[in-house]
């Protein structure tokens, strides 16, 4: 897992973890919506010493829409953990916009595009990658192989709050509450200023 | 896909009756007429689903107006197609620069197509672009786009009729109904 607060480095040849993610990326490419794959890791739980215990890397960031998307094709009863992570992310980084895209949403999307026959092979455990699913090169810089070309990164690592979202913050002698507040301030620095066009 | 000879049999529930739709279209027409009073409007319909809505709506707008039609390709083809981009299958037949444009849509769900269309039309320098959708399915929204005129907000169900299709069928139903899962699950 990449360092918290810094963009993940998806170089050419890296792949999606799940077939549904590759399909989702192709849909975004088709409609020319810029995306980045797992560009950022957000710490969501710390121990009393400030060490990061749990992090969350949403699957997609759509820079033009300033929207994070977490895609899950697990059955509804199995998504509690993801729901909890998304809830936690929203608490800690209230200025981030994140949408959890459930199996039923994915199924509806496939139905809409006449690809419902592919739902089972792209969903749940069947869709988990054995041999890696590679996205085909996307338009205008969008690519699973490298999110670097589109939009801007979710930059939470700049400014004085740097340490609060960096793993090195575990060496920070501030109280846990102070560190949390600093994380919130850092997140606040990322202020969505517009919605989609 | 397999559909019944009597298309009504494939509909589990009528979500919006013919009367409900008619009343709403009149209401939308009045609002649009008032909002654009003194101006000339260009209605742009997105084929094929919004055709019945466009035909009914334009007759409820008491303004000098032009109409135009667009069609864009939809995602969902083979692996080759899916590596491609959305394409304009039918472009506007007249310029819209410095005109007030109202994009008429049957339904907005993900917002992906609408997002693309608005960006495309903005490139043609209209004076303004607004959106009128008969149906809004916000539960499916990915791209948040302000919809200026909404007929009905509908629940998260697969709907057909009044222009909306499944596999190019059901568009001619006079109401909007929820398709039975048996009709699309094979």
Q: Look up the domain containing A104 and give its range.
A: 16-189
* Domain-located, residue A4: no
User: Among the listed ranges A53-62, A118-127, B75-84, which one has the minimum average pLDDT value?
Assistant: B75-84
pLDDT value of residue A122: 67
Instruction: Give the number of residues written for chain B.
Output: 186
pLDDT at A159 over 90: no
pLDDT value of residue B13: 93
pLDDT at A6 over 80: no
Catalytic residue among B56, B100, B106, B109: B109
* Domain-located, residue A30: yes
Binned at pLDDT 50, 70 and 90, residue A127 comes out as: low
* Domain-located, residue A86: yes
Set of chain B residues whose Cβ sits within 8 Å of the Cβ of A33: 112, 115, 143
Set of chain B residues whose Cβ sits within 8 Å of the Cβ of A109: 110, 140
* Domain-located, residue A196: no
B47 CA to centre of own chain: 8
CA distance A192 to A65: 9
pLDDT value of residue A120: 67
Is B109 an annotated catalytic residue?
yes
pLDDT value of residue A112: 83
pLDDT value of residue A129: 56
Q: Average pLDDT of each block of 10 consecutive residues along chain B (186 residues)? A: 76 95 98 97 96 98 97 69 74 97 96 94 97 95 93 94 92 94 77
User: Among the listed ranges A19-23, A122-126, B41-45, B137-141, which one has the minimum average pLDDT value?
Assistant: A122-126
Among A64, A115, A196, the residue to mutate for chain B (most B Cβ within 10 A): A196
* Domain-located, residue A195: no
Q: What per-residue string of b and e applies to A9-45 under the rule 16 or more CB within 10 Å gives b?
A: ebeeebbbbbbbbbbbbbbbbbbbbbbbbbbbbbbbe
Contact B76 A105 (CB under 8 A): no
Task: Render pLDDT for A63-99 as a digit per residue (tens, 0 to 9).
Answer: 999 999 999 887 766 788 889 999 999 999 999 999 9
Q: How many domains does chain A have?
A: 1
* Domain-located, residue A167: yes
Task: Confirm or reject contact between B142 and chain A (CB < 8 A).
Answer: yes
Higher pLDDT, A180 or A121: A121
- Which of the listed CATH numbers 3.40.50.300, 2.70.150.10, 3.30.460.80, 3.40.50.2020 matches domain B19-155? 3.40.50.2020
* Domain-located, residue A8: no
Looking at every residue in chain A, the average pLDDT score rounds to 67
B106 closest CA partner among B163, B161, B160:
B163
Q: Which residue of B has its CA nearest to A30?
A: B85
Cα radius of gyration (chain B): 17
Task: Confirm or reject contact between B144 and chain A (CB < 8 A).
Answer: yes
CA distance A185 to A44: 15
Task: Confirm or reject contact between B158 and chain A (CB < 8 A).
Answer: yes
pLDDT value of residue B184: 78
Eight-state DSSP code of residue A135: P
pLDDT value of residue A13: 47
pLDDT at A40 over 50: yes
Distance from CA of B93 to the nearest CA of A (A): 23
pLDDT at A173 over 80: no
Cβ proximity of B121 and B101 under 8 Å? yes
Sign of torsion over alpha carbons B16, B19, B20, B24: positive
The strand pair at B41-46 and B11-16 is best described as unpaired
Strand partners, A42: A56
The strand pair at A98-101 and A67-71 is best described as parallel
pLDDT average, residue stretch A40-61: 94
* Domain-located, residue A10: no
């Amino acid at each position: 897992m990449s360092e918290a607060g810094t963009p993940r480095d998806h170089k050419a040849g890296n792949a999606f973890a799940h077939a549904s993610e590759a399909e989702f990326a192709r849909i975004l490419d088709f409609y020319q919506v810029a995306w980045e794959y797992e560009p950022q890791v957000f710490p969501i739980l710390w121990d009393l010493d400030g060490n990061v215990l749990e992090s969350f890397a949403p699957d997609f960031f759509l820079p033009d829409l300033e929207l994070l998307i977490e895609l899950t094709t697990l059955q509804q009863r199995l998504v509690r953990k993801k729901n909890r992570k998304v809830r936690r992310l929203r608490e800690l980084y209230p200025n981030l916009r994140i949408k959890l895209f459930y199996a039923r949403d994915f199924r509806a999307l496939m139905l809409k595009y006449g690809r419902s026959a592919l739902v089972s092979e792209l969903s749940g455990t069947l869709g988990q990658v054995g041999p890696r699913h590679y996205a085909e090169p996307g338009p205008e810089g969008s690519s699973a192989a490298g999110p670097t070309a589109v939009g801007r990164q979710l930059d939470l690592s700049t400014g004085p709050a740097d340490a609060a979202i960096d793993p090195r913050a575990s060496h920070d002698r501030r109280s846990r509450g102070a560190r949390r507040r600093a994380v919130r301030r850092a997140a606040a620095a990322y202020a969505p200023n517009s919605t989609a066009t | 896909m397999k559909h019944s000879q009597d298309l009504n049999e494939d509909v589990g529930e009528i979500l919006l009756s013919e009367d409900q739709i008619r009343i709403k279209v009149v209401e939308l027409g009045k609002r649009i007429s008032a909002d654009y009073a003194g101006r000339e409007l260009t209605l742009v319909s997105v084929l094929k689903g919004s055709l019945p809505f466009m035909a009914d709506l334009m007759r409820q707008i008491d303004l000098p107006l032009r109409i135009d039609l667009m069609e864009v390709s939809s995602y969902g083809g083979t692996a080759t197609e899916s590596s491609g981009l959305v394409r304009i299958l039918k472009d506007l037949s007249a310029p819209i620069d410095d005109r007030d444009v109202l994009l008429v849509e049957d339904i907005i769900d993900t917002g992906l197509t609408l997002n693309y269309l608005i960006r495309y039309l903005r490139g043609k320098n209209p004076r303004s672009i607004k959106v009128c959708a008969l149906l809004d399915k916000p539960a499916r929204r990915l791209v948040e786009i302000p919809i200026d005129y909404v007929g009905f907000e509908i629940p998260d169900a697969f709907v057909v009729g009044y222009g909306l299709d499944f596999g190019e069928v059901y568009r001619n139903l006079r109401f909007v109904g929820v398709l039975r899962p048996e009709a699309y699950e094979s």
